[in-house]
Amino acid sequence: MLQERRSRVSDHPESVATTWSISFQNVDEKNPAAADLLRLCAYLFPDAIPENILTEGEPHFDPPLKSIVADPFLLSEAIE
């Protein structure tokens, strides 16, 4: 879908989609669990996601997200 949109805004080499893609790649390289958390949060209500949704859902997550949700310090680090 992003590739389709890029052709429409080809006169803007640094589009928002490009900026988002680069930023997300950086997060994924530095902290894969944080990237997983971003993917999950993309499907939830954007204004207020209670942490208990994450901590209570921990048994259903795959690693590495499961490991950070189980550890309050790692979860806080990923959220930041």
Inside any domain, residue 17: no
Inside any domain, residue 36: yes
- Domain count within the chain: 1
pLDDT for 25-69, tens place per residue?
Answer: 999 999 888 899 888 888 888 788 888 999 999 999 988 889 999
Can you count the helices (H) and strands (E) in the chain?
6, 0
Stronger pLDDT, 5 or 48, i.e. the higher one: 48
Inside any domain, residue 20: no
Domain enclosing residue 46, as ranges = 32-80
Inside any domain, residue 57: yes
CB–CB of 53/44 below 8 Å?
A: yes
Inside any domain, residue 13: no
